[in-house]
Structure 1
Amino acid sequence: MEIKLRITYDQKADLAYIYLEDIPPGGVNESVRVGDNVLDFDQDGRLLGIEFLDGKDGLPKSLLSKLD
């Protein structure tokens, strides 16, 4: 199984998103908030991605500096 990991970061909004695979339009069936994060699941309950609402607090600074 190949994981197509991709990370985006919006510095102005301080939002980061880790895509565990490509998400087609309408592919997220359920979003669950856990603290300052949101977990996105497909209709089969598979985790598609994780949104960090406070990117600077949720991810290492060394990673964020590479995404700016």
Structure 2
Amino acid sequence: MHLTDPQVRTKSSRMYPCDPVEVGGVINLDFDEQGRLIGIEVLAANSKLPEYLLKSSEHLDAGDA
């Protein structure tokens, strides 16, 4: 999930992995150089997110991210 303008390519400068035990899976938070949250990566999203959200999202291959 990108939280920036899709027309502007924002580079992630830091990734914070959330505790997999605490959140019940692997979730990574991406931050830009100013420390602003710019993206959320949910691994195995189909087992963590509601179906309506998955259907309405744009799916990227690992090489596209």
Sort the TM-score into its range (normalised by shorter chain). 0.5 to 0.7
- Structure with the higher helix share, 1 or 2: 2
Higher relative contact order (CA 8 A, sep 6+): 1
How many equivalent pairs are there? 50
RMSD (CA atoms): 1.9
Structure 1: state its 5+ residue gaps: 1-17
In terms of fraction of residues, the more strand-rich structure is 1
1:24 maps to 2:14: no
TM-score normalised by length of structure 2: 0.63
* Structure 2 gap segments, 5+ residues each: 21-25, 60-65
Distance 2:56 2:36 in 1: 28
* SS of match in other structure, 2:15: strand
Distance in 2 of aligned mates of 1:60 and 1:32: 23
Following TM superposition, the consecutive aligned residue runs of length 4 or more in structure 1 with deviations greater than 6 angstroms are none
